[in-house]
């Protein structure tokens, strides 16, 4: 059974269908990339999947549970889905260590010492333990992204969502983060990543879900999509 199954997902804003019947699956240990033109609904879809945005209709089956049903524990759902945001979303008034321990203490109820031990394990995995006492303003974009990934991994999620993880970075930092995410991919971390970055898609994706006008236009390996030279939508 797939870890994540999206069935006919619809999201409307007013009279505009941003998502218009999106369906796909994500297997445990798989890395899948979502690509498509700007405004096609990629980031909206990602936010619907962990209920940051409420879907209009459709089903989202995560780890065997329909998480769109009434009464679902949204906090519990989000603790099982690590979300790495485009702009990092670090608390500027908190140290690196406190940024990573916050959810462990507030959501998982871990004692501070245990939370700090777990946070330092993940910061070390991201080569950021030496910055434990630094504040976000002193970090580079690549370092901030590493802290954001450590924060997500510390919760021991079933899947990691990335929303345009390289778009706010300069070219040198892009290479650094691509290498980092590729490391997670090789470690069999389940990944769903929204990106425009073809190099990232090549390095980390088993398959690509290509959205256009709120629908799944194609799903295939990146090499096979790139070979569709006569398809004007994908070529663009």
pLDDT of residue 199: 83
Give the residue from 83, 103, 82 showing the smallest Cα distance to 94.
103
Give the residue from 24, 22, 27 showing the smallest Cα distance to 2.
27
pTM: 0.91
Percent of the chain with pLDDT over 90: 64
Mean pLDDT of 7-19: 93
Quickly tell me which residue has 């998480």 as its tokens. 67
pLDDT of residue 166: 85
pLDDT digits (tens, 9 = 90+) for 124-171: 999 999 999 999 999 998 899 999 999 999 999 999 999 998 887 788
Q: Is pLDDT of 215 > 90?
A: yes
pLDDT of residue 205: 85
Give the residue from 48, 42, 52 showing the smallest Cα distance to 167.
42
pLDDT digits (tens, 9 = 90+) for 40-78: 899 999 999 999 999 999 999 999 999 999 889 998 898
3-state secondary structure the chain: CCCEEEEEEEEEECCEEEEEEEEEEECCCCEEEEECCCCCCHHHHHHHHCCCCCCCEEEEEECCEECCCCCCCHHHHHHCEEEECCCCCCCCCCCHHHHHHHHHHHCCCCCHHHHHHHHHHHHHHCCCHHHCCCCHHHCCHHHHHHHHHHHHHHCCCCEEEEECCCCCCCHHHHHHHHHHHHHHHHCCCCEEEECCCHHHHHHHCCEEEEEECCEEEEEECHHHHHCCCCCHHHHC
Lowest-confidence pick of 1-10, 56-65, 171-180: 171-180
Query: What's the CA gap between 101 and 114, in Å, rounded?
Result: 9
pLDDT of residue 55: 95
Query: What's the CA gap between 143 and 67, in Å, rounded?
Result: 33
Mean pLDDT of the chain: 91
pLDDT of residue 169: 79
Query: What's the CA gap between 228 and 111, in Å, rounded?
Result: 53
Q: Is pLDDT of 121 > 80?
A: yes
The answer to whether residues 169 and 177 touch, using CB atoms and an 8 Å cutoff, is yes
pLDDT digits (tens, 9 = 90+) for 21-40: 999 999 999 999 999 988 88
pLDDT of residue 170: 81
Give the residue from 111, 127, 232, 109 showing the smallest Cα distance to 177.
127
pLDDT of residue 232: 86
Instruction: Return the bridge partners of 17, or none.
Output: 12
Query: What's the CA gap between 139 and 142, in Å, rounded?
Result: 8
Q: Is pLDDT of 1 > 80?
A: no
């Amino acid at each position: 059974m797939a870890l994540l199954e999206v069935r006919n997902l619809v999201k409307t804003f007013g009279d505009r269908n941003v998502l218009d019947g999106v369906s796909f699956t994500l297997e445990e240990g798989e890395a899948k990339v979502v690509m498509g033109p700007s405004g096609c609904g990629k980031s909206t879809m990602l936010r619907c999947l962990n209920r940051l945005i409420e879907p209009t209709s459709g089903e989202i089956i995560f780890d065997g549970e329909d998480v769109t049903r009434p009464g679902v524990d949204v906090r519990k759902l989000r603790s099982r889905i690590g979300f790495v945001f485009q702009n990092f979303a670090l608390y500027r008034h908190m140290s690196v260590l406190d940024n990573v321990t916050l959810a462990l203490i507030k959501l998982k109820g871990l004692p501070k010492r245990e939370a700090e031990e777990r946070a330092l394990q993940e910061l070390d995995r991201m080569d950021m333990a030496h910055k434990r006492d630094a504040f976000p303003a002193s970090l580079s974009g690549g370092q901030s992204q590493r802290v954001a990934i450590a924060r997500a991994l510390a919760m021991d999620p079933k899947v990691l969502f990335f929303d345009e993880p390289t778009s706010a970075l300069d070219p040198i930092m892009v290479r650094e983060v691509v290498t980092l995410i590729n490391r997670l991919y090789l470690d069999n971390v389940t990944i769903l990543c929204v990106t425009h970055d073809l190099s990232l898609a090549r390095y980390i994706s088993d398959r690509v879900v290509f959205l256009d006008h709120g629908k799944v236009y194609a799903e295939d390996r990146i090499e096979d999509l790139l070979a569709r030279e006569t398809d004007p939508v994908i070529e663009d």
